[in-house]
Structure 1
């Protein structure tokens, strides 16, 4: 996934974000998610997005539904823990890259690595949580 200015894209999705919304294409579906201070609500295709978002200390936490499936996320300077698509990520920050295993990995697979660009820190907690869920889902 790449995050540049107001665009977020990968092979599977092309999205445009602002502090109020995230819109674009995900595969053959459209995504339209609205942000408030404590929520992200909308749809990804036919699947609902209904996230409750809160900040505890330096951690952003999100819980609810994402594309019609249950999710949980905790993002902090020291770790990234995510439950999405029946898989749990437990990644620790190692010099700017979050590294670790997923519960659904096989023993011989490499660790998962997630690099967070500097511009990401300027986003609202709702934007951060939603973009992380897109990238890991």
Structure 2
């Protein structure tokens, strides 16, 4: 099974950015734990702060991977293009968020990804990625 985690803007700063909201663990540390725990899955990771790069990566992998775990960060609430990319590819996408977006600012309650995703997991910290991986098993 081949699954990719795609992270959007500012998620490269996990562990340093707003630690009271996102915690002190880096995504690289989380990713290495996931690779150990799900060793039978060919797991890869891509992060970009650029909307078009996220869309291009989804086009690249979205026709031959078994799953995509997508945390588009703030683009979730603004990018019709990323939502359309999820809709355009046959690979199932799980939308994830580290925080409970419904407990945050009102603009974070809208997702352009969720309506086209296989499912949405929010609010479980970095364990949201683990839960998304379980959904593909």
Q: Pick the structure with more strand per residue.
A: 1
The structure with higher relative contact order (CA 8 Å, sep 6+) is 2
What is the TM-score of this pair, normalised by structure 1? Answer: 0.31
Q: Whose helix fraction is larger, Structure 1's or Structure 2's?
A: 2
TM-score between the two structures when normalised by the length of structure 2: 0.31
